[in-house]
Copies of this chain bind each other. A is one copy, B any other.
């Protein structure tokens, strides 16, 4: 908002770039694990499925971490991107709604391996509270505030039915959560300062269906 203390870490990175940084990070991790020490923007772009000019432009927002005529040091760049995104630290996360999808999410190993730690599973249904999923107790939804306070949770995941999602989001915001990942098929209203991202399977399928239909029409034309 106001003038930052300058120093390092470039100011506003374009949103489109932010969305690609995790892809680059994953490609770098794969390269690193395969023993690659250095890579060119061309190599990395291919691994990430983007244009090399776009890749270089994206990286230039972070700083000059490459060497002309040589390329990028894989581990160094990997660290720089991880730091920029913020995944060098661990982010505590709560998941609300431990049904079909919630179970899958709780069992998802990608959380831990990418800098996120599931600190609690919450569900409104008392019959769920007996359960232990992926080594974590399912607890009553009303425990949310205490859990958020004790663990400093900033990120919440909603996997409840659509009808309950707005209520859950409201409670999350009240408790101080300021980033929400919403799997329920509904539009959430939240105050300014709270980020919401949605993952919507049926929207993705419908987009595919639209293009599929057009292909079919083109064929019969």
Residues of A within 8 A of B (CB): 1-2, 4-5, 9, 18-19, 21-23, 25-27, 47-49, 84-87, 91, 93, 100-101, 103-105, 107-108, 110-111, 114-116, 154-155, 178-181, 185-189, 193, 195, 197, 199-213, 215, 217-218, 221
Contacts and interface: CB of A to CB of B under 8 A. Distances in A.
Contacts of A180: 208
Number of copies: 2
Given A22-B207, A202-B22, A212 B85 contact: no
Contact of A23 (B22, B101, B203, B210): B203
9 contacts: A22-B207, A25-B206, A26-B186, A26-B202, A49-B188, A93-B205, A100-B108, A101-B104, A104-B104
A113 B218 CA distance: 27
